[in-house]
Amino acid sequence: MTVVRKRVVVHGRVQGVFFRDATRRLAERHGVAGSVQNTTDGTVEAVFEGPTDLVDELVAFCKQGPRGAAVERVEVYDESPEGARGFRITG
């Protein structure tokens, strides 16, 4: 099993629509590690670490977001895995 790590920055109307909590629940269901947070510029930033196919599912979710979100653009960055464990909302 190949483990990957991706950082995702989601632009649009993504704060105040339960984006972070929906992302956390999905990540926990899939056993993907990492974190998600609101940023001061109005984006949501998430880090996902786990098996490639499961991380890709989380990235795909971020491109749609939960009901109420209006995702305009998503930036995805590949990073080196760090052995992250658990998933948390950090801000």
Strands 33-38, 87-89: pairing kind = parallel
How many CB atoms sit inside 10 A of residue 5's CB? 19
| 38 tagged catalytic | yes
C-alpha–C-alpha distance, residues 33 and 43, integer Å: 20
Given 7, 13, 38, 88, which residue is catalytic? 38
Given 20, 24, 67, 88, which residue is catalytic? 20
CA angle 42, 21, 24 (to 5 degrees): 110
Catalytic positions: 20, 38
